[in-house]
Chain A
Amino acid sequence: EVQLEESGGVVVQPGGSLRLSCAASGFTFHDYTMHWVRQVPGKGLEWVSLINWDGISTYYADSVKGRFTISRDNSKNSLYLQMSSLRTEDTALYYCAKDRTPQGYSYADYWGQGTLVTVSS
């Protein structure tokens, strides 16, 4: 059974930094592209970033480019999102999600339950 468990969400001040983690199990982690998606409570989903299966290629939404860094440790079956220069508009529930296609890019087929990041003074 595929399981994704996010952690690291806390309350942080504007301008601060934070690292989110996602522990994956139930599938061959190093074969799959992984995504971060966020959702302001009560609002729509926003795709944030993806990293390919071997960690070499990364892509970002314009809203976070230059401030967030996605990474992975395939030896630990873990995905990360380093967030810096945080803004109040980054407040959201952050989901970790697995891509459907081995060694490809398509869509997220499994999602975690999310970790809440609140940016507030």
Chain B
Amino acid sequence: SYELTQPPSVSVSPGQTARITCSGDALPTKFAYWYHQKSGQAPVLVIYEDSRRPSGIPERFSGSSSGTMATLTISGARVEDEGDYHCYSTDSSGKRGVFGGGTKLTVL
């Protein structure tokens, strides 16, 4: 079955740039989406269609995708950005979703 691969953890100091990657064979033809999840809460979308930012999401969040890798970038990370980040995409059919394993972001 199709898989997306993320690093288990990323750690940065406040104000630094955090980059979280997501790799998958279908990413050259399928969009990547990024969700942020804080402990005990439902996921919140922060990036859709590789690089688009929903209304209400701070400009420090950006996304890109090249080849088989999508990247979420948080420029000037803040303590409130801590939590788990999950990438999402679909398999080549476009009908079966798949999440990456999640990346725990620590900002301290």
A residues near B (Cβ < 8 Å) are 35, 37, 43-47, 50, 57, 59-62, 95, 100, 105-109, 111-114
Contact = CB atoms under 8 A, between A and B. Distances in A.
Interface residues of B, number: 23
A64 to B, nearest CB: 11
A108 B42 CA distance: 12
A112 B42 contact: yes
Mostly, the B contact residues are strand
28 contacts: A37-B97, A43-B102, A44-B84, A44-B86, A44-B99, A44-B101, A44-B102, A45-B35, A45-B37, A45-B43, A45-B86, A47-B97, A47-B98, A50-B96, A50-B97, A57-B95, A59-B96, A60-B96, A61-B96, A95-B42, A105-B95, A106-B31, A106-B48, A107-B88, A107-B97, A109-B54, A111-B42, A114-B42
Contacts of B97: 35, 37, 47, 50, 107
B67 interface: no
A-side interface mostly: strand
Given A45-B37, A107-B31, A113-B42, 20 more contacts: A37-B97, A44-B86, A44-B99, A45-B86, A47-B88, A47-B97, A47-B99, A50-B95, A50-B96, A50-B97, A57-B95, A59-B95, A60-B96, A61-B96, A105-B95, A107-B33, A107-B45, A107-B88, A108-B45, A112-B42
Contacts of A43: 102
Interface of B: 1, 31, 33, 35, 37, 42-43, 45, 48, 54, 84, 86, 88, 90, 94-102
